[in-house]
Chains A and B, each alone.
Chain A
Amino acid sequence: MSHPTRVVVSTTVNGDDVEFLTEPGTSLLDAIRDDLGLTGAKEGCGTGDCGACSVLFNDRLTCSCLILAPEANGATITTVEGLADRGNLHPLQEAFLTDAALQCGVCTPGFLVAAKALLDKNPDPTETEVRFALAGNLCRCTGYDKIIRAVLNTAAAMNGTES
């Protein structure tokens, strides 16, 4: 069997143009972590069930473990590292800290990216909408309630409707 051709991938990650060389079967998650050194996205299941590897791919929420790295050629990717603005945490990150919405932290990057995708699309979600939007993210410490609260509090703060 012939050797797979390695592929050059040019992509934009968190606003920076980057280029890397990858094997065709490599997942985008592995490329982001191992080739680009961005280790925020985590591998939980590797099958798209847990959402720990969530990234925005062309502005859509995706599991980076289900994307082949070569598919990223020409794409725009946002990882959890792209949420903070020059050292200033994103309001969601602040709320996760304030509301203690994390325990072990493995699921947190995925939840943050998924929550950002939700609030970008729906700035004032109901609790039910938050729960459905985050259904693709698993937290095995079972800290869901605080996560949901942090997202709702972020929305309220961003909309100036804090109680």
Chain B
Amino acid sequence: MNYHAPGTVAEAISLLDDHPTAKVFAGATDLVPQLRAGRPAPEALIDLKKIDRLIGITHHDHTWTIGAATPTVLLTEHADLTAQFPGLVEAAGLIGSDQIQSRSSLGGNLCNASPAADSVPAMLINDMRAVIAGPSGERVVPVADIATGPGQTSLAHNEILVEFQLDDPAPNTSDAYLRMIPRTEMDIAVVGAGARLTLADDGTVASAAIALGAVAPTAFRLTQAEEALVGSPVTDDALAAAASVASAAANPIDDKRGTIAYRRHVAGVLTKRAITTAAQRAQQQSSNGGRA
């Protein structure tokens, strides 16, 4: 096993071309435990953190660019990003301890492709896009198209996730992410739920995005619940309807963290709460005159 720390995206891709079993990594917070657990050692480990484009948070022309390997602590410390996307930042901040936050990244969380990855539902509700680089150039795809199953992604062996694109929210918009774990900190989501709402001037929902994690092989959007919310205020009935869609759509596993029935129930509860929090935050945005 050799260690490489390429300085450019092109160099990383040519290393992947040269080494059919090479593995790229960012914070290695999933990779090292996997290797220690006996997963076959790749012939080369490619550290992506020395590539400038993969680290950092910038904002130009109403779009944020977040390097795929940016440590999540840089998101939680970013006041402007947090003001615009409190849900995305709270999801990123839930990945592990402070020790892990110094190393974990949105790119790693997405490409490790755990069904329970906390940041993924929050990326889905914000329609984030992933910039994928390969030997023949770059392509931009919705984050929803990356994870295809537990531990599986749509990336080819010689492709890497370079950065994320995130458009500024519409006025009167905010998001929220909640997860259920049996303890207060340091656990893997039993269920995760994210919601983003845009409110119209009369307080009705102009647009909604809801996503669940940890209750199916990949995180997914609840389009039926989203459509049902639009056009009316966030009433108890509307929340109950969204919760029952979430419970029905959840297709979780049974494990030591929760039974299928429990996870289905919690999916509904968290969906309600995430919508409620996103609506409150969107309301605050509008009372602040739409200022993020």
Interface residues of A (CB under 8 A from B): 1-2, 4-5, 7, 24-25, 27, 46-49, 51, 54, 57, 60-63, 65-68, 70-71, 73, 114, 117-118, 132-133, 135-137
A27–B32 CB distance below 8 A: yes
A51–B5 CB distance below 8 A: no
B32–A62 CB distance below 8 A: no
A24–B33 CB distance below 8 A: no
Instruction: Decide if B96 is an interface residue (CB 8 Å cutoff).
Output: yes
Known: A1-B43, A66-B103, A68-B28. Is A51-B97 also a contact (CB below 8 A)? Answer: yes
- For the complex, count residues of B whose C-beta is within 8 A of A: 28
Chain B residues near A25: list those with CB within 8 A: 1, 3, 35, 41, 45
CB distance from A116 to the nearest CB of B (A): 12
Instruction: Decide if B254 is an interface residue (CB 8 Å cutoff).
Output: no
Instruction: Decide if B39 is an interface residue (CB 8 Å cutoff).
Output: no
Q: Smallest CB-CB separation from B34: which chain A residue? A: A47
Which one of A4, A51, A67 contacts B28 once the chains associate, using CB atoms below 8 Å?
A: A67
CB distance from A128 to the nearest CB of B (A): 10
Interface residues of B (CB under 8 A from A): 1-3, 5, 27-29, 32-33, 35-36, 41, 43, 45, 47, 49, 71, 73, 96-100, 102-103, 184-186
B45–A51 CB distance below 8 A: no
Leading 5 A-B pairs by shortest Cβ distance: A136-B97, A24-B3, A135-B185, A60-B102, A47-B33
B184–A135 CB distance below 8 A: yes
Chain B residues near A70: list those with CB within 8 A: 3, 5, 47
CB distance from A162 to the nearest CB of B (A): 26
Chain B residues near A49: list those with CB within 8 A: 186
Q: Smallest CB-CB separation from B100: which chain A residue? A: A48
Interface centre among B29, B36, B98 (most CB of A within 10 A): B98
Which one of A7, A27, A48, A54 contacts B3 once the chains associate, using CB atoms below 8 Å?
A: A7
Report how far A120 CA is from B45 CA in the complex, Å.
33
Chain A residues near B32: list those with CB within 8 A: 27, 47-48, 65-66, 68
B96–A136 CB distance below 8 A: yes
A60–B71 CB distance below 8 A: yes
Which one of B5, B103, B186 contacts A135 once the chains associate, using CB atoms below 8 Å?
A: B186
B186–A68 CB distance below 8 A: no
Report how far A60 CA is from B73 CA in the complex, Å.
9
Q: Smallest CB-CB separation from A64: which chain B residue? A: B99
Report how far A110 CA is from B144 CA in the complex, Å.
38
A66–B28 CB distance below 8 A: yes
Q: 8 A-B contacts, Cβ less than 8 Å apart? A: A5-B2, A24-B3, A25-B1, A25-B45, A60-B102, A61-B102, A63-B100, A68-B32
